[in-house]
Structure 1
């Protein structure tokens, strides 16, 4: 009869929204136990309330997410570095050819200014993407544990529903009521 105090947060379609179990506003968020023994609609605001429930943080999932993000960042940096190295090699090759040609023509002319060289370079400027860095938001927790009073209310509600169901079945059973005596007294 009892179920664990671990509820997973799920979203349903807006068309399937039902009243919140606490404030009776329409909500599309559902808390459900493993095995679907208990579930109820709840507002997302109540999930953030520390007096109602506490999020259960999965440390292994957080570590895996951080490791994946670090690997993606390393790959991105490696690619950028390789691209810059290729550009430098190309510019160095062009610069050697140009220097040889310039040395022949510029010996009698004025010296070439360093500022003129930097203007001709075209290096790609990397801008941070929308999903990277500071703008990254942390995901909401998906597993919650209700506070003892609210959990007890859920257990009592389930017990009452079970009692009502059993009583309804008993009333439908014709042997539940006593039969009329058949013998004369």
Structure 2
């Protein structure tokens, strides 16, 4: 029987934890072959030991993941840039508005001096142009999102001796199963003679 030396790392529920195949401590990590021919429980610490197993790195998947992250980052930067440009335009419009309001104020002051109008008119409260429409200082204060930690490898190849040990264990289990089936079969043993034994002569 041949078991491929490709093992996928899976996690099980805490209630389903069983003894590690190496150190016999309870573990929720399982190494399983792709076709589910064989599996065994293992501590995550042993997976970091290169004398036990080496990770199989899928370079294409890593490259695709990096490309996706770069695209997301590029999209985020584009949105930030567009937002800043929009705010700059709003600020420029606010500056123009405040200048025109200053001119209106000067005209009103002139009219008051002339004595044509003496009523106090309530003017709208205007933020100084420095603060009008600005939220970029909030964005600067916000910390950058933490860089995601490198994911642990999910696929491993066992070292030759450990892989052979798994194959031997699987073969012994199949042999024991066959023996149990044979022993359960009533035709395996000879039947007791039913006739009366005759004289031996």
> Could you state the TM-score of these two structures normalised by the residue count of structure 1?
0.83
Instruction: Please list the CA deviations of residues 64-111 of structure 1 after superposition, one character each: whole Å capped at 9, or x if unmatched.
Output: 110110111011101111110011001111112323454785xxxxxx
| Match in the other structure for 2:71 | 71
Equivalent in the alignment of 1:6: 6
Which of 128, 145, 151 is 2:143 aligned to? 128
What is the CA–CA distance in structure 1 between the aligned matches of 2:2 and 2:27, rounded to whole Å? 26
Structure 1 residues 93 and 8, CA, compared in 2 at 3 Å: closer, same or farther?
same
Structure 2 counterparts to residues 22-33 of structure 1, below 5 A:
22-33=22-33
Task: Give yes or no for contact 2:95–2:129 (8 Å, CA) kept in 1.
Answer: no
Deviation at 1:3, TM superposition (A): 1.3
Aligned to 2:51: 51
Partner of 1:147: 159
Distance 1:169 1:123 in 2: 77
Give distance in 2, aligned partners of 1:118 and 1:11. 55
Query: Is 1:167 equivalent to 2:179 in the alignment?
Result: yes
Root mean square deviation of aligned Cα: 2.2
Tell me how far apart the structure 2 counterparts of residues 119 and 16 of structure 1 sit (CA, whole Å). 59
Q: What TM-score, normalized by structure 2, do the two folds share?
A: 0.77
Q: Size of the alignment, in residue pairs?
A: 172
Alignment of 1:29-40 (within 5 A): 29-40=29-40
Q: Secondary structure at the match of 2:151?
A: coil
Deviations 1:115-161 (A, max 9, x none): x864667342322344x4xx320111111000000001000101111
Distance verdict in 2 for CA 1:22–1:153, change over 3 Å: same
In structure 2, the partner of 1:41 is 41
> Rg bigger for which structure?
2
